[in-house]
Amino acid sequence: MDEEPQNLPLVERFHRAEYLARELSEHLQQTLLPRLSELRHASKVSDPVQVSDQEMQDRITALLNAETFAADVHQKLLKFLQSIEQDTRNILNL
């Protein structure tokens, strides 16, 4: 889904924006926030036998990957929303 929003009909941009918003919401709820919670919980454990350095590194990497994905989807969503706003303003002569 790397096409330019301006190359799509307005109605298709609305559909893509809705899809991206749903994808971002689901990703935040099902992936990013749980990984953040797991990292916070693991960081409070001071026993290296229970939580090793490698485990902490793996949790941080997973969280960073989830954040990178969320940022990418967010950028795509903004691109579509800005395109929709621009065309809507043109249609309404604003």
The answer to whether residue 2 scores a pLDDT higher than 70 is: no
Work out how many domains the chain is built from and give that number: 1
The verdict on residue 45 lying in a domain is yes
* 32-76 pLDDT, tens digit each: 999 999 999 999 988 888 889 999 999 999 999 999 999 999 999
Full residue range of the structural domain in which residue 73 is found: 10-89
The verdict on residue 34 lying in a domain is yes
pLDDT class of 3 with cuts at 50, 70, 90: confident
The verdict on residue 83 lying in a domain is yes
Q: Please state the three-class secondary structure of the chain as a single string.
A: CCCCHHHCCHHHHHHHHHHHHHHHHHHHHHHHHHHHHHHHHHHCCCCCCCCCHHHHHHHHHHHHHHHHHHHHHHHHHHHHHHHHHHHHHHHCCC
The verdict on residue 3 lying in a domain is no
The answer to whether residue 1 scores a pLDDT higher than 70 is: no
